[in-house]
Structure 1
């Protein structure tokens, strides 16, 4: 199986777990907070789950050696994902009148694609050059999966 397909399947499993938490919180909180704030809470919970699990299971190793830089980039990907989610929910639910759950399913597909492609480009690079703390190319891209697990699994990122 090509590595990209294996990563997609592993990331899909991670995203499925995050989706259950995300959507459960959205549905539970939307009547109390409104659908956009509830979507933010659910998304952040799903993002936390994805960050931890994708670092352990989805990608081979980080191209970025600096944990600080890795987490800042992960947060940036998450912010873009949240903005995509909000925009799509607003457009589908508030403007077009689509029920919340079908709108969430459509938005989730788009955000999943964004998150996977962005994270894969930045974080999945066992054979690519890495970026170290000082922003220069380094050797961490060649780290193996076992070394990633030894550092707590927070070596890659998020859905």
Structure 2
């Protein structure tokens, strides 16, 4: 039984993998960490009186650095891109598209639908998660989602 648990833990958290379900599990874990960083900075900046769209941009880009490190070393750790500068620029490009989606969704939810800053941020983050995973898996791993 212990060997089975050790194998499961190793498979989930340690071994390199190309399994889409394990990668998505890890991506959710990494995304959760990045979300905590992003959300905490967003709330703090909003509390300090900074416009919510500016706060979202600052928080998003700070969390991108943590997300990059964890994603490329743990989630998509078999990247087909060998040049780290190219890899980071691709990651940043995908993140910028995600940030644009986030800003549009925040504006829609806060200013048009009046959902509130916190609920709007949570919904936007959840929706953008699927863009980020699909685009990063395709770009870093070079395989279509199937």
- Aligned residue runs from structure 1 range 69-108, under 5 A: 69-108=86-125
For residue 51 of structure 1, give the secondary structure of its aligned residue in structure 2: helix
Q: Distance in 2 between matches of 1:123 and 1:36?
A: 29
The TM-score with structure 2 as length reference comes to 0.81
Structure with greater proportional helix content: 2
Write the deviation string for residues 77-111 of structure 1: whole angstroms up to 9, x where unpaired. Answer: 01101100000000100111111111111101111
Q: Which residue of 2 aligns with 1:20?
A: 36
Length-normalised TM-score, structure 1 = 0.74
Shift of 1:30: 1.2
- Listed one character per residue, the Cα deviations across residues 9-42 of structure 1 (whole Å, up to 9, x for unaligned) are 0111001111001000111101321100000111
Quote how far apart the aligned CAs of 1:65 are. 2.1
RMSD across aligned positions (CA)? 1.6
**Pairwise CA distance, 1:55:** 1.3
Q: Distance between the aligned counterparts of 1:71 and 1:46, measured in 2?
A: 14
* Count of residue pairs the alignment pairs up: 126
Matched residue, 1:64: 81
Runs of 5+ in structure 2 lacking a partner?
1-10, 12-17
Q: Distance in 2 between matches of 1:74 and 1:48?
A: 10
Report what 2:65 is aligned to.
48
